[in-house]
Amino acid sequence: MLNKPDQLLREAKALLEKATGEADVEAVRIGFFGKKGKLTAILRSMGALSQEERKELGLRANRVKEEIESLIAEKKREISATLRSARFSAEKLDVTEPGRRPPIGNRHPITQTIGEIVRIFANMGYSVTEGPEVETVFNNFDALNAAPNHPSRDLTDTFYITKDTLLRTQTSPVQVRTLRSAAPPIKVISPGRCFRTDAPDATHSPMFHQVEGLLVDEGVSMTDLKGVLDLFAKRMFNENVVTKFRPHFFPFTEPSAEMDMSCFVCGGKGCRVCGGSGWIEILGCGMVHPNVLRVGGVDAERYTGFAFGMGVERIAMLKHGVGDIRLFYENDIRFIRQFG
C-alpha cells in the first residue's frame, strides 16, 4: 500500500506522454483525482491503516498528487503551444491585398453650428459659460422678470419636474447664474439645450438648442448691441448682409428687439428662403432689464448691459437650406454625411 502512490506517479507519466490533445489530459486528471480516481481511492482506504502508516501514506500521496498536477499543467501548456503553432502555420496573410479603410465620421450639423457661433464670439472676446438643463423656476422665470401669469409658465409650454424645478425653456437662466457669481465687466455666451412642450413639426421641436449672450459693463448701450450682432451676422452668413432691428417685448430686456437680416441668398430681392420678403428673422435681443441686474446683485445705476438669444437649429436651417428641423434628430447618416 505504501508503494502504491509511486506506482500511480509512473502510470500518470506514461499516460501523459501518450496524450495528444486536451481531452486526453483531462481524462488523466479525472482518472487520478476524480471521485472514483485512483489516487482518491488510496486516500479513502487510509482508515484501515495504523496511525504511522496513515501518516507515511498521506505524505507520499500528497507529494505524488502535487507532481501529477504539475505534469498535467505542463502537458496542457505544451499542447496549447503546439496547437497555436499549427494554427499560425496554417494561416496566411497576404500583405499585398488592399486594405479596407474604415468610414470616417463627421460632426453633427448642430454641433458644427454651435462651434462656429462660439468661434465668432470668442474672436470678439466672449468667454463660454454653461448652466444646468434642470433649472429652478426662480432662475428660469422669476429672476428673469417674468410675471406669475406669463403664458410661458403654463404646463402647455413648460416641462415641470416639481413645483419648483423644470427643464429650462431657454438658456437665459445662465444670465442669472452668471450675474450672481461674477462681478462686471461680464462678457459671456452660453450654448445649450432647451425644452418646451412643442408638438414636433417642420419648425418646432420639444428639444432644441440656443446660444445666449450677455455683456454687462459701464456705459453699455443699444448701439453696442447692434454693432456686435451686425458683425456676427456678417461673419456667420455673408459680409454683404444688412441688419435691421424691430421693436419687440421680452420680460428680461428693456428695450427689446428682434433682429432681421437681408436674405443672404437673394440679397434682399425675395426668394424661397426669405419667403419673398427679402428679410430673415434671426434672433431676439435687448438691454438687460434693471430688475434682472438687481436680482443678480449688480448695481443697476452704475452698470448696463445687453443680452441676446438665438436658436441654433434656425441658424443651421438657414445656412444650409434645411427645410425640416426634424431631420436633425432622425439620425439618418445620409443626412449627416452631407455636412462632412
98: in domain? no
Query: What range does the domain containing 83 cover?
Result: 4-90
In this structure, the number of other CB atoms found within 10 A of the CB of residue 229 comes to 22
Task: For residue range 192-211, list pLDDT tens digits in order.
Answer: 999 999 999 988 999 999 99
| Structural domain includes residue 95 | no
Whole-number Å distance between alpha carbons of 317 and 235 = 17
CB atoms inside a 10 Å sphere around CB 103? 8
Assess whether 56 and 193 both reside in one domain: no
Please report, rounded to a whole number, the percentage of residues in the chain having pLDDT higher than 70: 99
Q: Are 95 and 41 in contact (CB under 8 A)?
A: no
Q: What is the C-alpha to C-alpha distance for residues 14 and 20, in angstroms, rounded to an integer?
A: 12
Contact 266, 152 (CB under 8 A): no
What was the pLDDT predicted at 276? 85
pLDDT digits (tens, 9 = 90+) for 284-316: 999 999 999 999 999 999 999 999 999 999 999
Same domain, 73 and 131: no
338 phi and psi, to 5 degrees?
-65, -15
Please state which of the ranges 57-71, 158-172, 178-192 shows the lowest mean pLDDT.
57-71
User: What pLDDT is stored for residue 60 in this prediction?
Assistant: 79
Mean pLDDT (the chain) is: 90
| Residue pLDDT, tens place only, 25-42 | 888 888 888 888 887 787
Any idea what the CATH number is for the domain that residue 237 is in?
A: 3.30.930.10
- Total number of domains constituting the chain: 2
| C-alpha to C-alpha distance for 340 and 338, rounded to whole angstroms | 6
Q: Beta strands 304-311 and 165-167: pairing type?
A: unpaired
Same structural domain, 155 and 252: yes
Q: How far is 67 from 75, CA to CA, in rounded Å? A: 12
Instruction: Report pLDDT for 2.
Output: 62
Of 189, 185, 224, the residue nearest 306 (C-alpha): 224
What Cα–Cα distance (Å) separates residue 156 from each residue in 144, 160, 163, 195, 199? Answer: 20, 10, 15, 12, 10
> Looking at the predicted structure, is the pLDDT value of residue 1 above 60?
no
Per residue in 225-281, pLDDT (tens digit) is 999 999 999 999 989 899 999 999 999 999 999 999 998 878 778 887 777 888 989
* 101 within a domain of the structure (yes/no): no
Least confident of 101-105, 189-193, 201-205, 328-332: 101-105
Cell of 299: 448695481
Place of cell 502535487: 66
Say if pTM beats, i.e. exceeds, 0.85: no
From residue 207, give the alpha-carbon distance in Å to each of 34, 176, 300: 65, 22, 34
Could you tell me if residue 128 is inside a domain? yes
**pLDDT(48) > 80:** no
